[in-house]
């Protein structure tokens, strides 16, 4: 064989072989330094608050480094920026593929560095600590330890701002509560035995239960249904959509209304039209299977209480329904207003009192009843009285007046005055005067005037919906098609008096638009 390093040798290989059944381990280096946890400061580029890579790793400067020891490499290691170290892993309590817990260290925070296998070349962030320049967490930016030692949780800080978010747990004896809070708009969810933010061991109470509040805007949205109730459900033992109490009350109202409606129907007046709708509503909240959680069959909203419900506004309250509005009371239904009570009905108004009659009083001003397109009937089983306590009583007709009583009649028309009776005709007067003929003028009731109606179609932001196809359905069964103009307006519809017109938006995205009526 040729000797190593021979000029004629082109290649030489030397191998050290280990038998297959012998385990190999890393070589022991007695000179490798022993490692212990160390302090470091989180660093990054100027102007940044959080500096991480795609894995959430950070860069640090070890507190023992001195600038004069690192002048050979541009100060790397002691520059207080992202040149001071390689990327360092951060320990987290939960790390999955795209899920887990994430609390990224911020520039300037003090972290504790430890090493995998004691290898100084494999550092990782073990955790963070408070120190002289960074006091422990102050919930609500108030108080300090040890006075607030019964509070625990998380409080963040707005990047380059003064706002914060916090999840606070208060385990103070007799004031146990929790809070999810954002300083923007003082938006909070408070649960438990509520109290004011603590600066000492205890603070003044604010109430018990829960509070969801904000200085900004709020919305509660439930796509499958919403149940708001003050009926008790001790210790959350029942189903969360259990609406049994509300259902029983509505069913009782339905039965009462149905009985009264039958009485009205027997008296030749109009029964209630909404009863079938109310029955269908009750069917939507019935729990079919007692072994399954209660669920509404439609996206209903139910508001119920064992005591009273009050709704109040310093301005207006608007109630609107594309279907019917239904009100039922086991006692009286009271309406009071400090100005006018105005009601309009496109079809008819029907009122019925079963027991004690109906009364209409005007303390001042006239009572005026008009049937502008048809007749008027006043029917009573007993006496009818027309009384003016201080002035005259006028009965006027442009054609004829007939007074008929059991076979006798007094008829007044354009041809004259005609008295007919099968009995005695008796006239008593202190003086009889007969003069020549004369006609009187008759005042006419107000006639229907044509009405003009225009609709405006806008999007949900209130912007005009241009060139949108629509169909207008008239009360007589006819319909008209058209498109909106540049202002989102339909054509102008003329009606003879009051008429209901329904507008159907033909666009496939009709739910993105709303309708505004312009008189």
302 backbone dihedrals φ, ψ, rounded to 5°? -125, 130
pLDDT of residue 39: 95
- Strands of 151-155's sheet, edge to edge? 151-155, 165-170, 177-182, 187-195, 205-213
Instruction: Inform me whether the pLDDT recorded for 291 exceeds 60.
Output: no
**What are the residue boundaries of the structural domains of the chain, listed by start?**
38-128, 139-213, 450-518
pLDDT of residue 60: 97
Could you tell me the CA-to-CA distances from 378 to 154, 264, 369, 381, 384 in Å, in that order? 76, 18, 11, 11, 9
pLDDT digits (tens, 9 = 90+) for 397-449: 889 999 999 989 999 998 899 999 999 999 999 998 888 888 777 666 656 67
Q: Show the tokens assigned to 87.
A: 């990327």
147: preceding bond cis by omega (within 30 degrees): no
Instruction: Inform me whether the pLDDT recorded for 209 exceeds 80.
Output: yes
The sign of the torsion formed by the CA atoms of 457, 459, 460, 463 equals: negative
Give the SS3 label for residue 181.
strand
Q: Which residue has the higher pLDDT, 306 or 285?
A: 306
- Strands of 400-405's sheet, edge to edge? 400-405, 408-413, 416-420
Alpha-carbon distance of 448 to 474, in angstroms, equals 18
- Entry field: residues in the chain: 519
Distance between the two ends of the chain, CA-based, in angstroms?
A: 114
Alpha-carbon distance of 255 to 252, in angstroms, equals 5
Could you tell me the CA-to-CA distances from 373 to 346, 348, 498 in Å, in that order? 14, 13, 12
pLDDT digits (tens, 9 = 90+) for 130-172: 987 888 999 999 988 999 999 999 999 999 999 999 999 999 9
The sign of the torsion formed by the CA atoms of 354, 355, 361, 367 equals: positive
Give the SS3 label for residue 236.
helix
pLDDT of residue 91: 97
376 burial via Cβ count (<10 Å: 0-12, 13-18, 19+): exposed
pLDDT of residue 446: 59
pLDDT band for position 96 (50/70/90)?
Answer: very high
Segment 304-327 shows an average pLDDT of 89
Alpha-carbon distance of 63 to 39, in angstroms, equals 6
CATH class of the domain comprising 38-128: mainly beta
Alpha-carbon distance of 60 to 82, in angstroms, equals 8
What Rg, from alpha-carbon coordinates, does the chain have?
44
pLDDT of residue 54: 96
pLDDT of residue 249: 87
Alpha-carbon distance of 398 to 409, in angstroms, equals 19
In this structure, are residues 84 and 43 in contact, taking their beta carbons and an 8 Å threshold?
Answer: yes
pLDDT of residue 253: 86
pLDDT band for position 245 (50/70/90)?
Answer: confident
Instruction: Inform me whether the pLDDT recorded for 1 exceeds 60.
Output: no
pLDDT of residue 251: 86
The model's pTM:
0.66
Segment 192-219 shows an average pLDDT of 93
pLDDT digits (tens, 9 = 90+) for 345-375: 888 899 999 999 999 999 999 999 988 888 9
pLDDT of residue 391: 92
Give the CA angle between residues 97, 44, 84 to the nearest 5°: 105
Instruction: Inform me whether the pLDDT recorded for 119 exceeds 80.
Output: yes
pLDDT digits (tens, 9 = 90+) for 457-507: 988 888 898 888 889 888 888 888 999 998 889 998 888 767 788 888 877
209 backbone dihedrals φ, ψ, rounded to 5°? 120, -125
As a whole-number percent, the residues of the chain with pLDDT over 70 amount to 94
Q: 241, 248, 243, 249: which is closest to 224 by C-alpha?
A: 241
In this structure, are residues 177 and 208 in contact, taking their beta carbons and an 8 Å threshold?
Answer: no
pLDDT band for position 289 (50/70/90)?
Answer: low
Give the CA angle between residues 201, 207, 211 to the nearest 5°: 105
Alpha-carbon distance of 369 to 386, in angstroms, equals 14
503 backbone dihedrals φ, ψ, rounded to 5°? -105, 125
pLDDT band for position 12 (50/70/90)?
Answer: confident
Q: Show the tokens assigned to 293.
A: 């959680």
Q: What is the 3-state secondary structure (H, E, C) of 448-513?
A: CCEEEEEEEEEECCCCECCCCEEEEECCCCCEEEEECCCCCECCCEEEECCCCCEEEECCCCHHHE
The number of CA neighbours under 13 Å toward the Cβ of 463 is 4
169-172 — which CB contacts under 8 Å span 24+ positions?
170/195, 170/198, 172/198, 172/201, 172/202
Q: Cα 65 vs. chain centroid, distance in angstroms? A: 57
Q: 3, 5, 2, 100: which is closest to 55 by C-alpha?
A: 100
Q: Chain-wide mean pLDDT for the chain?
A: 88
Instruction: Inform me whether the pLDDT recorded for 292 exceeds 60.
Output: no
In this structure, are residues 37 and 113 in contact, taking their beta carbons and an 8 Å threshold?
Answer: yes
pLDDT of residue 265: 87
pLDDT digits (tens, 9 = 90+) for 19-78: 999 988 777 777 777 789 999 999 999 999 999 999 999 999 999 998 888 888 888 999
Alpha-carbon distance of 155 to 169, in angstroms, equals 11
């Amino acid at each position: 064989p040729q000797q190593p390093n021979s000029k004629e040798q082109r290649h030489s290989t030397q191998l050290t072989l280990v038998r297959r059944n012998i385990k190999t381990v890393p070589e022991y280096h007695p000179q490798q330094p022993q490692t212990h946890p160390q302090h470091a400061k989180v660093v990054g580029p100027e102007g940044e608050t959080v500096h991480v890579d795609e894995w959430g790793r950070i860069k640090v400067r070890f507190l023992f480094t001195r600038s004069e020891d690192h002048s050979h490499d541009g100060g790397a290691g002691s520059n207080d920026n992202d040149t001071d170290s390689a990327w360092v892993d951060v320990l987290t309590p939960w790390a999955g593929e795209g899920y887990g817990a994430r609390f990224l260290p911020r520039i300037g925070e003090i972290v504790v560095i430890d090493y995998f296998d004691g290898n100084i070349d494999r550092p990782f962030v073990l955790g963070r600590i408070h120190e002289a320049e960074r006091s422990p967490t102050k919930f609500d930016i108030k108080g300090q330890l040890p006075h607030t030692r019964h509070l625990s949780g998380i409080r963040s800080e707005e990047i380059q701002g003064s706002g914060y978010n916090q999840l606070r747990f208060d385990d103070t004896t007799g004031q146990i509560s929790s809070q999810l809070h954002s300083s923007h708009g003082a938006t909070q969810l408070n649960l438990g035995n509520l109290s004011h933010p603590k600066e000492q061991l205890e603070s003044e109470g604010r109430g018990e239960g829960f509070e969801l509040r904000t200085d900004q805007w709020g919305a509660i949205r439930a796509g499958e249904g919403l149940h708001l109730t003050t009926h008790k459900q001790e210790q959350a033992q029942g189903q969360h959509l259990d609406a049994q109490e509300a259902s029983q009350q509505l069913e009782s109202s339905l039965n009462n209304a149905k009985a009264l409606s039958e009485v009205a129907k027997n008296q030749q007046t109009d029964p209630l039209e909404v009863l079938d709708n109310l029955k269908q509503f009750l069917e939507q909240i019935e729990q079919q299977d007692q072994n399954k959680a209660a669920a509404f069959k439609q996206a209903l909203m139910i508001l119920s209480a064992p005591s009273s419900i009050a709704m109040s506004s310093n301005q207006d309250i608007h109630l609107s329904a594309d279907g019917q509005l239904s009100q039922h009371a086991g006692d009286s239904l009271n309406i009071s207003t400090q100005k006018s009570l105005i009601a309009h009905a496109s079809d008819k108004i029907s009122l019925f009192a079963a027991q004690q009659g109906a009364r209409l009083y005007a303390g001042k001003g006239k009572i005026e009843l008009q049937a502008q397109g048809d007749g008027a009937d006043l029917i009573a089983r007993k006496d009818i009285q027309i009384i003016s306590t201080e002035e005259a009583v006028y009965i006027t007709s442009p054609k004829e007046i007939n007074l008929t009583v059991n076979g006798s009649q007094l008829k007044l028309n354009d041809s004259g005055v005609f008295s007919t009776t099968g009995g005695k005709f008796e006239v008593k007067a202190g003086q009889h005067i007969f003069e020549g003929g004369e006609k009187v003028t008759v005042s006419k009731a107000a006639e229907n005037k044509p009405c003009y109606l225009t609709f405006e179609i806008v999007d949900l932001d209130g912007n005009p919906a241009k060139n949108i196809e629509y169909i207008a359905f008239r009360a007589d069964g006819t319909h008209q098609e058209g498109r909106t103009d540049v202002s989102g307006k339909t054509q102008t519809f003329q009606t003879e008096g009051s008429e209901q017109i329904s507008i159907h938006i033909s666009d496939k995205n009709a739910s993105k638009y709303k309708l505004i009526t312009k008189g």
